[in-house]
Structure 1
Amino acid sequence: MCGRYSLSKSKIELEERFQAEMLPDFNPRYNIAPTQLVPVITSASPKGFSFFYWGITPDFGKNKPVAQKLINAKAETVDQKISFKSSFQRRRCIIPADGFYEWKKLGKKTKIPYRFTLRDNELFSMAGIWEEYESVSGETQHTFLILTTTPNEVVSEIHDRMPVILTKEAEKKWLDNYSSEEDLKKYLAPYTSDQMLSFTVSPLVNSVANDTAAVMRKTSPMDQHGNYTLFG
């Protein structure tokens, strides 16, 4: 799964990379988590960043653990499952990012956080689908899911899934309302291994309350209690 990512670049960098207009008061994010309101670009509005909830809205998921919140969809079956098929056909989006996090299990209680980026630390996008619905209070709200696929060689050392990362060419096809399902499925594959890096980061990233640049910095491998380990 993909359960945490970052978008630490500036408004100007985002607008230049994606050729879309960002809100004036946008602030970089270092530790994005499910239920938060974050920028995406949709096939319905490709020239501007929209702000959608990741997975479900905070009110709906208030009393549910993350494990029960729907935040990802498997790329292998997104065109087959009734709950996702319509979104895959009509409501696709890309989710801008510059890194994502996964945890390597070293035992029942020990997990080491890793950060994954492109080799040159540039912005990229993850493939997603979105939904629109009316809340209990009558407000129109939007949510999105990140598509995941089998891991490449870099990610497989840590986790058995990774987000679908799109090339710039694939982004255009993904947001094109006239792209066929057959063409779209070609892009739902693991990203090239030699274009990615991974490294251990501070256990500060474990808490969603820590949304600062400190969570992205490369550190020596530590367990969840902050103890140094011999494992990478």
Structure 2
Amino acid sequence: MCGRYSLSKSKIELEERFQAEILVDFKPRYNIAPTQLVPVITSESPKGFSFFYWGITPDFAKNKPVSQKFINAKAETVHEKISFKSSFEKRRCLVPADGFYEWKKLGKKTKVPYRFTMANNEAFAFAGIWEEYENEKGEINHTFLILTTEPNRLVSEVHDRMPVILKKEDEKKWLDKYSSESNLLQMLTTYSADDMLSYTVSPLVNQVSNDSPGIIRKTSPMDQFGNYTLFG
């Protein structure tokens, strides 16, 4: 699964990279977590950034028994599952990012956080789908999920799944309402490890409240308790 990511680029950098406008104040994010309000680019509004909640919680899904960990969907079955099929067909989105985190298990209690980025440190986009829900107050909330797939050789050393990273040339096609199902599924491939980097980061990333530049800096491998390990 993908349970944490970063978007540390500036507003100007994001607007230039995605050719879309951000109409609100935006500050770089270093430790984005589920249920938070973050920028996406939707199929309905491809020229501007929208701000949606990551994941679907019971508060957003009135009368629906949805898990609080409902933040990802498998790319292999997204077009078949009743819960995702409509969103896959009609409501797709780009989820801008410049890195994501996974934790490598080294024992029953030892986990070391890793950050994965593009080799050139550029921003990229996860493949996402979005939905609209009415909460108990009658307010409309917009939420999104990130699609995941089999890991490349770099990510597989840490985790058995990775987010779908779209090729830059596929981003507009992903948002295009006229793209066929077969073409869409072809985009949901495992991103090449040759174009990515990974490194260990501070266990400070474990706490959602920590959202500062220090989170994305390379550090010596430490477990979740802050103890140095011998593994990289």
TM-score, normalization: structure 1?
0.95
Which residues of structure 1 form unaligned runs of 5+? 62-66
> 1:136 aligns to what?
136
- Corresponding residue for residue 64 of structure 2: none
Q: Provide the C-alpha distance between the structure 2 equivalents of 1:51 and 1:116, rounded to a whole number of angstroms.
A: 24
Tell me what 2:116 maps to.
116
Identify the residue that residue 159 of structure 1 maps to in structure 2.
Answer: 159
For the residues of structure 2 that align with 1:91 and 1:60, how far apart are their CA atoms?
17
Identity over aligned residues, as a percent? 78
Question: Equivalent residue of 1:166, what SS?
Answer: coil
8 Å contact kept, 1:151–1:162: yes
In the other structure, the counterpart of 1:36 is 36
Asked whether the equivalents of residues 58 and 68 of structure 2 are also in contact (C-alpha less than 8 Å), the reply is no
Query: Is the CA contact (8 Å cut-off) linking 2:201 and 2:216 kept in structure 1?
Result: yes
What amino acid maps onto 1:70 in structure 2? F
Over 4 Å off, 4+ runs: 57-61
Shift of 1:167: 1.3
Cα distance, 1:161–1:181 mapped onto 2, change above 3 Å: same
Letter in 2 for 1:7: L
Distance, in Å, in 2 between the alignment partners of 1:149 and 1:9 is 25
Amino acid at match of 1:135: N
Give the drift of 1:2.
0.2
User: Which residue identity is paired with 1:214?
Assistant: G
For the pair 1:15 / 2:15, whether they are aligned, the reply is: yes
Question: Is residue 57–residue 143 contact of structure 1 (8 Å, CA) maintained in 2?
Answer: no
CA contact (8 A) 2:52 2:143 kept: yes
Query: Is residue 69 from structure 1 mapped to residue 62 from structure 2 by the alignment?
Result: no
Map 1:1-232 onto structure 2 (within 5 A): 1-56=1-56, 59=59, 68-232=68-232
Residue type at the aligned position of 1:134: E
| CA distance in structure 2 between the partners assigned to 1:58 and 1:37 by the alignment | 16
Q: Helix, strand or coil for the counterpart of 1:88?
A: helix
State the TM-score, normalizing by the size of structure 2: 0.95
| Offset of residue 30 of structure 1 | 0.3
Deviation (angstroms), 1:23? 2.7
CA contact (8 A) 2:59 2:136 kept: no
Q: Is contact 1:35–1:58 with CA below 8 Å preserved after alignment?
A: no
Aligned counterparts of 1:118 and 1:6: Cα–Cα separation in 2: 12
What value does the CA root-mean-square deviation take over the aligned residues? 1.3
Does the 8 A contact of 1:36 with 1:58 survive in 2? no
Which amino acid in structure 1 is aligned with residue 111 of structure 2?
K
Give CA deviations for 1:89-124 in whole Å, capped at 9, x if unaligned: 000001000000000001111100000000011000
Shift of 1:57: 5.0
Extract unaligned runs of 5+ from structure 2.
62-66
TM-superposed CA distance for 1:133, in Å, is 1.4
- CA–CA separation in structure 1 for the residues paired with 2:15 and 2:60: 32
Contact 2:56 2:68 in 1 (8 A): no
Q: Deviations over 1:27-54 (max 9, x none)?
A: 1100000000000000000000000000
Shift of residue 60, structure 1, vs aligned partner? 5.3
* Cα distance in 2, alignment partners of residues 26 and 46 from structure 1: 18
State how far apart, in whole Å, the 2-side matches of 1:131 and 1:58 are: 14
